[in-house]
Structure formats: structure tokens, C-alpha cells
Amino acid sequence: MGYVKTGILMAAMTGLFLGMGYILGGATGALIALAVAAGMNAFAWWNSDTMVLRMHNAREVDAHTAPELQKMVMDLARNADMPTPKVYIIQNDQPNAFATGRNPDNAAVAATTGLLDRLSSEEVAAVMAHELAHIRNYDTLTMTVTATFAGAISMLANFAMLFGGGRNRQNPIAMIAMMILAPLAAALVQMAISRSREYEADRIGAEICGNPLWLASALQRIQGFASQIDNASAERNPASAHMFIINPLHAFKRDKLFSTHPATENRVKTLEKMAAEMGVQSAPSRSSRRPDRSGPWS
């Protein structure tokens, strides 16, 4: 059902964008809007991963510079039957992580130093499994496309404001709807897609690491730290907040329309229910240490 919901929401985003193009310039406007969207998505498809990693000053690591984390990701990728993505570390005390890339063959996972220092090895493994799930599900590409569409809709709204609304310059109601309601609707759709993909990545990530309770514990601890520790790079670039496993900008407490993430307590309850169905009862250790070279995910 998660994939069906995402497909419906993306179709709504596309229809909204083409509809704005039609309002501005009729059938020709819709075609131009489609061409613009295709160009913007092509650029984002090739460059979004590099841009976001640079945005957060992520440093690529390997088996020599971060052997424990690299081995962990390799083992989890093997469990997920997918290529091992590139691994990056972000110097930031707030525990968090994200995935990026256009497909499983061209992807990366990034973890903050706060995540590695403050969470147990099982919790770190669960977080990395969640990010691998995003890659395997092509969520990184999906969210790039939706973010590009949302940005393009805002661009069209600004164009309408500057040049008078095209074919509907005599219709003030259409103008207001175009300049205000369309970008708002696009933002709501984008956030709904993001929340839907988080639930699905939680489910598959729990399967990859083998224990939903590890991820439930990690989410609770990350949420607790994120509410107290600022993430400076995320604050400077709030458009990337939806990529992180927990909202780095101090996430909403409930599933609100304008939240990019589901409520942490709702995610935890879902994972606990999943653990009960799997017959899993072992919670992760609460020690705050870097991941070991070997562990229960191996």
C-alpha cells in the first residue's frame, strides 16, 4: 500500500505542475512546463547526491579510514542483496544519518559522528539498514523528483506573480490559487510522500538488520538528542531536512500536514508491533560506543 500511495501522490504532483503550466499558457504552457520539469529532474538526477553531501561537508571513508563502519555497511548490504554504497561521515554532534543517490549502483550513506559516538553498535546498524532500505526502494530518487517538482511549482507561481498570470490575468481567483494554493499543495504532497517512505524504510530496514527493536531504540535516542543538539548545516539548508532519519530541525511531535517525518512515537509503535509478530524480544544494549568490527548483523 505504501507504493500505491506514493504513486498516487506523485501523479497528483505531476498533474498539479502540468495544470499550472496550462493555466499560464494553455496546451503550449503545459508542454513547456513538462520540458522544464524534465530538464530540472535530469540535472537533479545526476547532481543531487554530490550537492547534498557537499552541503553537509560529508567526508568519504573506506576500509582504511573507518573500517568498522565500512564493514558494517558491507554486511548489511549483503543482507539486503544490494551493492554496497559509498560511506560518508559528517562531523556533527547530533546523531543522524541519510542516504542519497539516483539508484543502488550510484548511492551513498552518511552518518554523523554523533550517531557513531552516542548510539550502540546494534542501533547504528539499524540506522544504516534503514538508509539502505531507502536506496533499495529508490526513495532517494523519488524524493529528488518530488522536491524538484515542488521547487518548479514555486517557480511557476513566482512567474505568474511577476508576469500577471498568463491566460488568466483577468481572473483574480485563479491568480490567487496559482500563487498561493498551488505551492502549498505541492509542499503538502511532498511531505506526505516523505512520511510514507519513512514508514516503509523502517519496515524493510528492520528486516535487513534482523531486529525491529534495534531501530525503535535508535529512533527514540536520536529524537532525544536531536531535540537538544543543533545541526548547523541542516539549519543552513532546511530543504534537505527530509533526507535525515529524524528531522534535524527538531521534528514535529505529531503527524502534522507540514511535517516531513512521521511522529517518532508512531514509528516506534509500528516497529514494536512488527517485533512482536516476528517473535523478537531482544533490545539493543544502551552503551554509547562506536560500532565494533563484528556484531550480530554479520
Query: Could you report the per-residue pLDDT of 206-238, keeping only the tens digit for each?
Result: 999 999 999 999 999 999 999 899 999 988 888
Calculate what percentage of the chain has a pLDDT beyond 90.
45
DSSP annotation of 239 reads: G
Q: Which of 60, 122, 123, 131 is catalytic?
A: 131
Return binding residues for Zn(2+): 130, 134, 198
Domain chopping of the chain, boundaries = 2-55+138-278
**Per-residue exposure over 198-236, b if at least 16 CB sit within 10 Å of its own CB, e if not:** bbbbbbbbbbbbbbbbbbbbbbbbbbebbeebebebbee
Residues annotated within the binding site are 130, 134, 198
- The verdict on pTM exceeding 0.85 is no
Q: Which of 217, 164, 174 is nearest to 23 (CA)?
A: 174
The pLDDT of residue 166 is above 90: no
Active site residue 122: no
* Cα Rg, the chain, nearest whole Å: 20
Q: Find cell 552541503 and name the residue.
A: 55
Question: pLDDT tens, 57-106?
Answer: 999 999 999 999 999 999 999 999 999 999 999 999 999 999 999 889 99
In tens, the pLDDT along 252-280 reads 444 455 577 888 999 999 999 999 999 88
What DSSP string describes 154-192? HHHHHHHHHHT-GGGTT-HHHHHIIIIIHHHHHHHHHHH
Mean of pLDDT values over 279-287? 74
Q: To the nearest whole number, what is the mean pLDDT of the chain?
A: 82
